[in-house]
Amino acid sequence: MSIQPIEPELELSSHIQTLGHCSVTSPLPYRRFMSDSDLVMYDLDPGRLKARVRDGLEPMAFERAGAREKIYFDPANVKVAIVTCGGLCPGLNDVVRSMVHELYFMYGVRRIKGVRYGWAGLNPSNRLGLLDLDPEVVQGINEDGGSFLGSSRGPQPVDVIVDTLFREDIRILFAIGGDGTLRGAVAINKEIQRRGLGIAVVGVPKTIDNDIGMVSRTFGFDTAVAQAVESLRCAHTEARGARNGIGIVKLMGRHSGFVAANASLAVANASFVLVPEIPFDLDGPKGLLASLDSVLSKRGHALVVVAEGAGQDLFDDDFGTDPSGNRKLGDIGLLLKQRISEYFKSKKFEHTVKYIDPSYIIRSVPAAPNDRIFCVFLGQHAVHAGMAGKTGVLIGSWNNLFVHLPIELAIRRRKQIHPDGILWTSVLESTGQPESMVNSL
């Protein structure tokens, strides 16, 4: 296998910005600290590491997340704000509660504000105001799905947001959200720096799709897969209960099919898995319809798992964009249901089609235990980073350790399933679906 060099942009982007010298002694009772020289290797491949050393290059690494012995902000005086943005995701409340507990109990911060309904809450024209947060206010919110603070999609004027932060004397802004939220956080951080305001911006990556670049795992993903498995199990039962029964389940995944791929592996009953990264043909002798026909002839039933962003080339219409600027998608689940039914009716082939779209149910459930634990870590590490004056920083998981990533680095490229990677290979082996379905787009 050829050794791939690290992208030049990565070489330039691993440095973490700080607001200044840390001179305040940390009040944490547990004296277990990390330093900025504690690093996590970007690439663990021995061959590539040797090649970098041979070429006189330093091994690429990320700064380890964790508490610092000296911090930038005085806990007695600092005022912070927490905002959740974008779509709902299991674990939002867990992260908020973890942050509040860490700030209040460990650092002694008493001025904690919650921003209502995403970035809209930092625009005074919306008249939403800020909530006072403390451990009593957030007690038990981790038992509920959704966001205790509320959320919203779409941008707000960056200059207005920064004006609000300055007027409210917010010194640390914790932004919990996905790709759009993090892009907003980058713009806010740049405006803060342009004005020289000394406000830290710390991001926590949130996306059910698990598609944020340079982050091994995002919270909510494990819960989403577990919930999706139940939908696949039900669809498979429905399909088996009818002669030539076909179950179709549409799962989340606008650009990346990690939920669909992992859920299908967990149930091990899917006949086909369709994801955005792997275009497929619908018609023709090697297309999905012909392949589905073959499966029904052999097994008498079939389960089709499709990510919402799959097969978008099958739509001729431009559906515009949503408030966050994302391209609106055609409903691939309904299209498959229609085309599959038409295909078998034209052949006078007895069949039934059952279609399930559990997306909003999955988004709204409380986090599963494993996700809850992960959210606690994320919240704690975000607070440590903010109190140390780090800014433009994202708390990520890399090589099973928590690290500091520049937000700009994480949003440069979306994480996707590799067609030749082990995950997709495992899906193909589990389903038995023909690779010949893949079109040449």
Active site residues per annotation: 209
CB 397 within 8 A of CB 212: no
Reference 78, options 113, 49, 44; nearest CA is 113
Q: Where are the alpha helices (DSSP H) in 118-257?
A: 158-167, 179-195, 221-240
CA dist., res. 310 & res. 330, Å (int): 9
8 A C-beta contact, residue 22 and residue 388: yes
Task: Please state the separation of Cα 71 from the chain's center in Å.
Answer: 29
Q: For residue 226, what are the β-bridge partners?
A: none
Q: Which helix (H) or strand (E) holds 364?
A: helix 359-364
Q: Which of 211, 189, 197 is closest to 406 using CA atoms?
A: 189
Are the C-beta atoms of 304 and 431 separated by less than 8 Å? Answer: no
For 356, phi then psi, to 5°, come to -130, 130
Taking the C-alpha atoms of residue 134 and residue 109, their distance in angstroms, rounded to an integer, is: 10
Contact 91, 222 (CB under 8 A): no
Kindly state the helix (H) or strand (E) to which residue 131 belongs, with its residue range: strand 130-132
CA gap 62, 13 in Å, rounded: 10
* Residue 80 neighbours by CB under 8 Å, 6+ apart: 103, 109, 111, 112, 113, 170, 171, 172, 173, 174, 386
Residue with token string 């709204």: 364
CB of 261 within 8 A of CB of 278? no
Q: With residue 331 as reference, give the H or E element that holds it.
A: none
Judge residue 78's burial from the number of C-beta atoms within 10 Å of its C-beta, 0-12 exposed, 13-18 middle, 19 or more buried.
Answer: buried
